[in-house]
Structure 1
Amino acid sequence: MSAVTDTSGRAYGGESAADRDDRRRKQLMDAGLRVFGSTGYRAATVRGLCREAKIADRHFYQYFDKTEDLLLAVYSECIAQLTNSVAEVMAELDPDSGLKAVAEQLLEPFFRAVEDPHLARVVWLEVLGVSQRVEQTYLEVMQQFGTLLLGYLRTFAGDVPSSPDLDVDLLATAAIGAISHTAMTWYQSGYAAERRMVVATIATMLANIVEPLQSRS
């Protein structure tokens, strides 16, 4: 006979309370990605999200205070996916490859992830203009990702030398700004360009940024 409990909660149908909570939260996260990534954050309601997640409305507030909190959680998960896509190829990179080839190997999984239109819309459109809190999170994440990417490139190219007319943080901002805008416009074009062309173009840009700096060391 399957396990059943009262509303206090421990197990129901063989599912523990903790597993049930994890499942409902994941259902909400998945629903958030689909809804925010299609009809958009501003059109989303708690009721609509819960219907998409196939859970009762009251369960939403067990995990999130408001839809903005779900948006940030979904955004963080999307960024983690993008970051992990780059990190996972680090161990496979050929240290003897040229800088452009290394950049291409790093960018290929990144832009492959961007081909998920729900993820792309959440990351580059839906988090803009929501609130100061969300805007600050967006700016911090973009800066961190730019620093991470340049850090990976410096693993193969060497450290960028210090200079009174060069700010490495600004360099990271410029790099991620170019990548981010390219990803956004690529998504908005319906992915008109082939991914390999997008990757090769951005890799060339990154190599042209970093390679001249090596000669200054």
Structure 2
Amino acid sequence: MTTVRPYGGVSAEDRAALRRDKLLSAGLAVFGSSGYRSATVRQICRTAGVADRYFYEHFTGMEDLLVAVYGMCLDRLETAVVAAISASDQIATMARQGLEGLVGVTGDDPRLARVVWFEVLGVSRRVEDTYLHRMERFADILLASAPELDDTAAELRASIASAAVGGISHVLMTWVASGCVRPRSQIVAALEIFLISVVDGVRADR
């Protein structure tokens, strides 16, 4: 077996990981500016500063890269929300802080916003399934932070959470499409009222 020696003190595994990170960053830059559908492997590699042959070390094609970039973007959003809501156990405070984290990351990075809310639309069944899976994860986060829903039937809880996540996503999509012209505080306030009204509606229905 041939042993690949470190180059410049960096192992082959670390160099490969660095190239993958560069390709992901390039994917975000390209998909988030000129779009996924017009992007090419050569453009991605040129933006990343890596040779074309390294692309296929990590991705089977452009759609595979899109799924990975989308996952990276959703990880950032998810991390921001979880970090924000962990600072409180009061539903109103958690809602506001979680939304501030979500809106903050969305507004701070137009490239991420374009990938998350536009570039993944209508690509393929695989991308759609990835989108649905990630939305379910956000619904799970919402359920975990809303003990008021614990006594609700499981299927109803899941539907309520999915509806809430869908509503939030649509508001953010229209905000991004407008160029984020409305102040972030207005978006957060509107979504906070929406979330609290959902929880209050469940309480009143008991």
TM-score (norm: length of structure 1) = 0.88
DSSP 3-state at the match of 1:89: helix
Q: 2:28 aligns with which of 26, 33, 53?
A: 33
CA drift of 1:103 comes to 0.8
**Residue 137 (str. 1) matches residue 133 (str. 2):** no
Question: Could you tell me how far apart the structure 2 residues matched to 1:170 and 1:158 are?
Answer: 11
Question: Could you tell me how far apart the structure 1 residues matched to 2:205 and 2:167 are?
Answer: 23
**Partner residue of 2:114?**
121
**Residue 162 (str. 1) matches residue 153 (str. 2):** yes
**Partner residue of 2:179?**
190
For residues 1-217 of structure 1, the aligned pairs below 5 Å read 9-93=4-88, 95=89, 97=90, 99-115=91-107, 116-154=109-147, 157=148, 159-162=150-153, 167-217=156-206
CA drift of 1:140 comes to 1.9
Give RMSD over aligned pairs.
Answer: 1.9
Q: Which runs of 5+ in 1 are unaligned?
A: 1-6
On the 8 A contact 1:86/1:106 being kept in 2, the answer is yes
DSSP 3-state at the match of 1:172: helix
Percent pairwise identity = 45
CA drift of 1:8 comes to 6.3
Q: Which runs of 5+ in 2 are unaligned?
A: none
On the 8 A contact 1:107/1:203 being kept in 2, the answer is yes
CA drift of 1:11 comes to 1.5
Which amino acid counterpart does residue 174 of structure 1 have in structure 2?
A: A
Which structure is higher in helix share? 2
DSSP 3-state at the match of 1:11: coil
On the 8 A contact 1:102/1:153 being kept in 2, the answer is no
CA drift of 1:144 comes to 2.3
CA drift of 1:153 comes to 2.5
Question: Could you tell me how far apart the structure 1 residues matched to 2:83 and 2:57 are?
Answer: 33
CA drift of 1:158 comes to 5.2
> Quick check: 140-149 or 186-195, which moved more?
140-149
**Partner residue of 1:4?**
none
CA drift of 1:179 comes to 0.6
Which runs of structure 1 show a deviation greater than 3 angstroms over 4 or more consecutive aligned residues? none
Question: Could you tell me how far apart the structure 1 residues matched to 2:75 and 2:170 are?
Answer: 19
Provide the aligned length of Structure 1 versus Structure 2.
204
Q: 1:174 to 1:158 in 2, by over 3 A?
A: closer
Q: Give the number of the structure whose alpha-carbon radius of gyration is greater.
A: 1
Q: 1:192 to 1:101 in 2, by over 3 A?
A: same
Which amino acid counterpart does residue 47 of structure 1 have in structure 2?
A: R
